[in-house]
Amino acid sequence: WVARLWEERPTRYSRALLETLVLIAYKQPVTRADIEDIRGVAVSSNIIKTLQEREWIRVLGHREVPGRPALYGTTRHFLDYFNLKSLDELPNLNEIKDLDDINVRLDLGGEPLMAPMDNAAT
């Protein structure tokens, strides 16, 4: 029974943390304000802190505007953790089905992104 006390469980991440990571990966370099504009809600300092502690993101520089906000981008550790050789291996946003609500708001330029899934089509 002692072994069960020390048994490591996989870390679970919140939807907000994962959405923030996705936005940084696809739109980098990006500021916290950019992320908040896209998500429509404030980004918790704990989310940024957790992503930095995991070494998935880092400050790439600062935007040359008043306040000089940090510009975030992904790290080599992010690529290694998700078994990617480069950011080019990230799936196309049209392939991501589980982020419908963020896909509608996320504009990366080019073709329109996937519209929300119609439950009747499944």
Structure-model confidence comparison of residues 121 and 97, the more confident one: 97
* 93 contacts 114 by C-beta, under 8 angstroms: yes
- State the pLDDT confidence band at 111, using cuts at 50, 70 and 90: very low
Global model pTM greater than 0.85? no
Secondary structure (H, E, C), 14-51: CHHHHHHHHHHHHHCCECHHHHHHHHCCCCCHHHHHHH
Domain 12-105 has CATH 3.40.50.300: no
Measured torsion, CA atoms of residues 14, 23, 26, 65, in degrees rounded to the nearest 10? -150
pLDDT over 60 at 117, yes or no:
no
pLDDT over 90 at 9, yes or no:
no
* 17 contacts 50 by C-beta, under 8 angstroms: yes
Average pLDDT over residues 30-52: 95
Q: Which amino acid is at 69?
A: P
Domain ranges of the chain: 12-105
pLDDT tens by residue, 45-97: 999 999 999 999 999 999 999 999 999 999 999 999 999 999 999 988 776 66
pLDDT tens by residue, 10-19: 778 899 999 9
